[in-house]
Amino acid sequence: MTTSACSQRNSSGGPAAPSDTATVALRPLPGSGSRLTGGFWARRVAANRAALPVGYQRLVDAGNIGNLRVAAGETDGTAEGASFRDSDVYKWLEATAWEHARDPDEALLDRLRELTRIIATAQREDGYLNSAIQVRGEERYARLWMSHELYCAGHLFQAAVAAARATGETGLLDVATRFADQLAATFGPGRRPELERHPVVEMALVELYRQTGRRRYLELAQYFVDARGHGRATKPGFDPSHYADPAHYADRVPVREARTLEGHAVRAVYFAAGATDVAIETGDAELLAAVRRLYDATRRRKQHVTGAVGSRWDGEAFGDSYELPPDRAYAETCAAIGTLQWAWRLLLATGDAGYADQIELLLYNAILPAVSLEGTDYFYVNTLHRRTGARGDVQRSPAHGRRPWFNCACCPPNVMRTLASLPEYFATGDENGLRIHQYAPAALRAGDLAVKVETEYPWQGRVVVTVREAPDREVELALRVPDWADGSTVDGWPVVAGGYASLRRVFRPGDRIVLEMPMPARLLVADDRVDATRGCVAVARGPLVYAIEQPDQPDGVTLEDIRIDPAAPLRPEHRPDLLDGVTVLNTTGAVAADRPGAPYRPYGGPAPVARPTPVTLIPYYAWANRGPHAMRVWIPATVG
Amino acid sequence: MTTSACSQRNSSGGPAAPSDTATVALRPLPGSGSRLTGGFWARRVAANRAALPVGYQRLVDAGNIGNLRVAAGETDGTAEGASFRDSDVYKWLEATAWEHARDPDEALLDRLRELTRIIATAQREDGYLNSAIQVRGEERYARLWMSHELYCAGHLFQAAVAAARATGETGLLDVATRFADQLAATFGPGRRPELERHPVVEMALVELYRQTGRRRYLELAQYFVDARGHGRATKPGFDPSHYADPAHYADRVPVREARTLEGHAVRAVYFAAGATDVAIETGDAELLAAVRRLYDATRRRKQHVTGAVGSRWDGEAFGDSYELPPDRAYAETCAAIGTLQWAWRLLLATGDAGYADQIELLLYNAILPAVSLEGTDYFYVNTLHRRTGARGDVQRSPAHGRRPWFNCACCPPNVMRTLASLPEYFATGDENGLRIHQYAPAALRAGDLAVKVETEYPWQGRVVVTVREAPDREVELALRVPDWADGSTVDGWPVVAGGYASLRRVFRPGDRIVLEMPMPARLLVADDRVDATRGCVAVARGPLVYAIEQPDQPDGVTLEDIRIDPAAPLRPEHRPDLLDGVTVLNTTGAVAADRPGAPYRPYGGPAPVARPTPVTLIPYYAWANRGPHAMRVWIPATVG
């Protein structure tokens, strides 16, 4: 049988769409229910669209697509690179599928079909698929602690589900289900006990279940979630590196008992997102409570002010609680995307506005900074501080600016698929009403309720929602009031920040609801257990975290010497000419004068002389678009 | 010919002994001129001595000695591990040689002879030697960017020179010169242009020249020094990691033009030490000025308060200037040892007391912390901050405490050879007099001048030097007054800190010179461009940097919550029972009360409530000898 018969099980056109029987508070909008009509995000999404063909060419150049062709017997050759390379192709396919749904394009669809044909040909008779393992003749599943075979499977499944939901093409879904059946016959109780070191297959299997209705995929995901935490994903035997440390793989403590995320950040958040999917689909309240607790612990103690997670270059890992250095923040792009996926699932599960606040924070300040304004260059690592004259390492260093591609190219196509499906994260709803979580000019529809959203967000805090169609009954229209938006009003009535302003009534076409969110610049300080930012402030305005970058400062002022005066006003100024249009913040700070040469001196003595200077801040996401310059998010204050 | 005929070229019994024609300000004491007679360092050196047989067994267990036996044809087998493993054996041999000279032991000498026999047998007919490359049948010098073939050669040469100087055994020197001749025939102008990625052969070749008088070794070292800085040590072609970055190998800028040390810290300091040796032996004032400038830049901007260098786990690298995080300080033990070797060479070259200050700082606070009080466990990475509940990575993490050995085991035998030759760094002199750089109970002799040194250093600042023998003419006796020792006196006369107090006269046996160095505890702050320590103080007393460790604090006080009150006195208390005998510092600080859960909060608002608490500091070197506990060197202050 083909699987297309099952593809109508849910009506969502986006990622992570709970099944009809899932235990959720909110549901994604039905297919095409969320459409951007202009504004800030539409520009970024358009740049991402333009980057898709470039990305395809980079996958050709890097050999990823060649690997699949060799595995398919189309060409001779060896396999290039590590055995996770197929996953980059799958993520590109997922992006292409979402993008086609957003704005149909036959050329993209042809690419999708061509790659689907190659992938289907490469697939082994019994469903197994990994081009590098196959071409090299390596034993399957023999080195799961490094082979990424189920990681690739997971990204294949996600691409297949996207293709089915977004384009109606089910060829990739057939490949996916054959592979998933092979996995289900190989792993699970009484079968192979080892686990894949890099999670993603958990949430992918749940999505495949949602798309096909085949419960065995959900059961396998459930098994993978509970089997982890006993060292079965960890490299066996002694290895004098983090590869022998179960913490590296989210494999030290079962998720139901865990009190903190640790180890490799992307692995940890992908796994938590998969566990959340399992909790939603199985109605497992204990598991949901566990992942909520983990999210909260991460947010409170292991998240940078930008929303990014992951502090350590070594092992690409979460650090200790409060280990949040701006200057060597690892903050991998994929970890931010995984956190977004996790937060989205928790938002659906709970309806808690705090997760939508997190999605906002992540989109503007942890994911968007990873891509250039042109949409074609990427950060793998997202530092929060680059020093004057900094030189770094070649592959992942922000010191060299964004790069077109990476040897380990997980991040670029991850950005692509996220931006291609972006509007799906903006609202939820069903026949009972509509809940708007993120603000952008958009056309939104939930059941019979259709609205138009107009706003200059994130530069201005006014949002106008105009009803276009409405049913002849009471429905709810809810607007998120962000946690930072003190003093907000809806139609002039004060509303509380950090929740939803909910209107329940019979709406009429032409009804206008106006949300006003004041956007003063805000000075933030960190918990003083965050050693790395002691004595510093961060600046935010609306949803955006700001930064100082060298080109905006007066000649002769070195970025390291700038101090922020917390008493001085921060004046917003919109600059349409600058960085594709940004609102900057202008203030008066101080420049610390030259200090003595000795790095360590006795405590006390006179304070360094400082003179006033103008200081201009830009949104953090826009940095590094003018060459490699010094930048900092956390800025020393003139006074503690 | 054998090389033993040349072994009397200089009379020093220690490492890095300039030739008679070298351009130096100071000369090491002639053989056995420096002997510890008790006290602080004698205990540490005795522990190191006891660890030598343990280290030999670990080299057997890890397969290093097995590799050489296989290469020698003594046993069958494959080669274990990376191709730098021979170097661990050579460093152990060097330690054993110095130790035999310090305190003769036939069992150690037998081991040295046995290993020399194996090594000589393993050596190829033409002089080449690398057990892993040979056993695996890999092509010689084909992958110098990773093979460490010349690195191993360098450590062989250093061991051979040590064996010749310290024991009179020249078997290893014959092996070394044959290999060095092979290198000289292979590399150099008009020969192979590639360079070894990991320096050490430069200083080793100079030492081999000093020991043998063969100028071609000096010339090859000189060539290696000036050939570097043009990308010839860097992996050719594209590699998406630091392996393709010339900065990683001290290979981006020629040493004469370099303005900062960068990249892999051990490589950078070993190379700089080798360049200093070349400058000394060739009288190259320009090169000496260049390495002095580099040392000064490192000291001012890239050195931790403990003297350690290297900030980044990624690439084991120096970071940017002022990138000095206590909590993820890499501070590799070998980098501190390399810095010591470099400082020693600069001290000899210049006579500048600042380098002796650096040697003191490094010995007490960067090298000694790397070894347990028992002498048998080691840190590879020396953090300056371990959080409560910290978990880290397996191999190199200080979170797990010191470890008996490492897969990459460069550090333990490096500590062994340093402590085995320790007294050599304590004084210099010749027939014109004696200069005491480091203080310990010792018997020192330079020419006809012999003295006894008595002191409770580093716990007390009183040093009594008693003349035992003296010539009938005016000679100099100079005592270093450390840079921290304000208010010092010699025989009651005030002397200036940061230099030498020099007495030039006719001494008589029985003459006593008394140096008194006040040792108040000192609070230090860092240049405020060191972001990671803003708002914190470090504490030092005499030559020792102090730290707080959890076991010394009151029950219920979590280390993260401790604040130091800069106005409160720090009272020294000697505790002979604690940590093999230490002087602790007691003070009254504060405990910050519980803070709100949000990691980021608006600037301003009430300060966190704090209550007073007793705080006890221990010398940093002694931490982590009571299990894995929280520790910090940089401590937040109650006031900025």
Comparing CA positions, the residue from A319, A261, A259 lying closest to residue B387 is A319
| Torsion angles phi and psi, residue B578, rounded to 5 | -100, 125
* CATH architecture for the domain at A427-516: Sandwich (2.60)
Asked if the peptide bond before residue B509 counts as cis, ω within 30 degrees of 0, the response is no
pLDDT at A73 (0 to 100): 96
Q: Do B391 and A522 touch (CB under 8 A)?
A: no
**Could you give the CA distance from residue B79 to residue B501 in angstroms, rounded to a whole number?**
55
pLDDT-derived band at B12 (thresholds 50, 70, 90) equals low
**Which are the contacts of A53, defined by CB distance < 8 A and separation ≥ 6?**
none
Q: In the block, which residue shows the tokens 């800030």?
A: A40
**Could you give the CA distance from residue A315 to residue A335 in angstroms, rounded to a whole number?**
13
Q: Where in chain A is the domain with CATH 2.60.40?
A: 427-516
pLDDT at A398 (0 to 100): 60
Helix (H, G, I), strand (E, B) or coil at A468: strand
Share of chain B above pLDDT 70, in %: 94
> What are the strands, taking DSSP E only, across B23-120?
34-36
**For residue B131, pLDDT beyond 70:** yes
Chain A CB within 8 Å of residue B610 CB: no
Give the orientation angle of helix B201-212 with respect to helix B265-282, to 10 degrees: 30
Nearest to B525 among A299, A522, A601 (CB): A601
Share of chain B above pLDDT 90, in %: 84
Which chain B residues are closer than 8 Å to A324 by Cβ? Answer: 599
Tell me whether residue A596 is exposed, middle or buried, using C-beta atoms within 10 angstroms of its C-beta: 0 to 12, 13 to 18, 19 or more: exposed
DSSP letter string over B492-553? TEE--SSEEEEEEEE--TT-EEEEE----EEEEEE-TT-GGGTTEEEEEETTEEEEEEGGGS
pLDDT at A240 (0 to 100): 53
pLDDT-derived band at B233 (thresholds 50, 70, 90) equals confident
Q: Which tens digit of pLDDT belongs to each residue from B327-383? A: 989 999 999 999 999 999 999 999 999 999 999 999 999 999 999 999 999 999 999
Give chain A's residues under pLDDT 50. Answer: 1-10, 392-395
Note whether A174 and A1 are within 8 A (CB): no
Question: How many CB atoms within 10 Å of residue B5?
Answer: 11
pLDDT at B639 (0 to 100): 79
Chain A CB within 8 Å of residue B307 CB: no
When mean pLDDT is compared across B116-130, B314-328, B382-396, B617-631, the lowest value belongs to B382-396
* Pairing of β B433-436 and β B474-481: parallel
Residue B203 tokens read as: 């200083």
Higher pLDDT, B270 or A395: B270
Q: Do A523 and B391 touch (CB under 8 A)?
A: no
Residue B38 tokens read as: 């008790």
Q: Do B528 and A636 touch (CB under 8 A)?
A: yes
Complex ipTM value? 0.92
Chain B CB within 8 Å of residue A525 CB: yes
A590: distance to nearest CA of chain B, Å?
A: 14
Mean pLDDT, rounded, for B429-436: 96
Residue B316 annotated among the catalytic residues of the structure: yes
Note whether A288 and A342 are within 8 A (CB): no
Comparing CA positions, the residue from B398, B373, B366, B370 lying closest to residue B579 is B373
Helix (H, G, I), strand (E, B) or coil at A126: coil
Chain B CB within 8 Å of residue A248 CB: yes
pLDDT at B10 (0 to 100): 45
Buried b (16+ CB within 10 A) or exposed e, A408-442: bbbbbbbbbbbbbbbbbbbbbbbebbbbbbbbbbb
CA angle A360, A364, A369 (to 5 degrees): 150
Chain B CB within 8 Å of residue A528 CB: yes
Between positions 444 and 503 of A, the ones with CB within 8 A of B are none
Which chain B residues are closer than 8 Å to A248 by Cβ? Answer: 393
Helix (H, G, I), strand (E, B) or coil at A601: strand
Between positions 558 and 577 of A, the ones with CB within 8 A of B are 560, 566
Comparing CA positions, the residue from B459, B623, B636 lying closest to residue B551 is B623
**Which are the contacts of A442, defined by CB distance < 8 A and separation ≥ 6?**
A34, A35, A36, A37, A423, A426, A427, A452, A453
Residue A91 tokens read as: 């993520």
Position A225, amino acid: V
Chain B CB within 8 Å of residue A314 CB: yes
Residue B152 annotated among the catalytic residues of the structure: no
Q: In the block, which residue shows the tokens 């940017």?
A: B320
Question: How many CB atoms within 10 Å of residue A283?
Answer: 12
Which residue of B562, B600, B629 is the best one to mutate when testing the A interface, meaning the one whose CB has the most A CBs within 10 A?
B600
Which one of A94, A202, A316, A549 is the catalytic residue? Answer: A316
Nearest to B240 among A240, A245, A394 (CB): A394
Q: Do A315 and B393 touch (CB under 8 A)?
A: yes
Note whether B3 and B12 are within 8 A (CB): no
CATH topology of domain B4-425: Glycosyltransferase (1.50.10)
**Could you give the CA distance from residue B249 to residue B151 in angstroms, rounded to a whole number?**
13
Which one of A6, A152, A334, A410 is the catalytic residue? Answer: A410
Q: In the block, which residue shows the tokens 């000019």?
A: A441
**Could you give the CA distance from residue B549 to residue B571 in angstroms, rounded to a whole number?**
17
Position A126, amino acid: D
**Could you give the CA distance from residue A478 to residue B181 in angstroms, rounded to a whole number?**
82
Chain A CB within 8 Å of residue B605 CB: no
Residue B356 tokens read as: 């002796």
Helix, strand, coil percentages (3-state) for chain A, rounded to 5, are 40, 20, 40
Which chain B residues are closer than 8 Å to A320 by Cβ? Answer: 327, 387, 389-391
**For residue B399, pLDDT beyond 80:** no
DSSP letter string over A507-570? --TT-EEEEE----EEEEEE-TT-GGGTTEEEEEETTEEEEEEGGGSPTT--GGGEEB-TTS--
Q: Which tens digit of pLDDT belongs to each residue from B186-215? A: 999 999 999 999 999 999 999 999 999 999
**Could you give the CA distance from residue A276 to residue A225 in angstroms, rounded to a whole number?**
10
pLDDT at A9 (0 to 100): 39
**For residue B396, pLDDT beyond 70:** no
Residue A76 tokens read as: 């001779």
Q: Where in chain B is the domain with CATH 1.50.10?
A: 4-425
**Which are the contacts of A76, defined by CB distance < 8 A and separation ≥ 6?**
A70
Which one of B316, B332, B360, B454 is the catalytic residue? Answer: B316
Chain B CB within 8 Å of residue A61 CB: no
Q: State the Rg of chain A over Cα.
A: 24
CB pairs under 8 A between A and B: 200
Which one of B6, B334, B410, B411 is the catalytic residue? Answer: B410
B602: distance to nearest CA of chain A, Å?
A: 4
pTM: 0.94
Chain B CB within 8 Å of residue A262 CB: yes
Note whether B455 and B515 are within 8 A (CB): no
Which residue intervals of A509-590 are DSSP H helices? none
Note whether B483 and B354 are within 8 A (CB): yes
- Beta-bridge partners for B582: B575
Chain A CB within 8 Å of residue B601 CB: yes
Helix (H) or strand (E) segment spanning residue A82? none
The pairs formed by B492-496 with CB atoms below 8 angstroms and a separation of 24 or more are none
Q: In the block, which residue shows the tokens 């549901």?
A: A27
**Could you give the CA distance from residue B360 to residue B545 in angstroms, rounded to a whole number?**
11
**Could you give the CA distance from residue A543 to residue A364 in angstroms, rounded to a whole number?**
7
Which chain B residues are closer than 8 Å to A566 by Cβ? Answer: 603-604
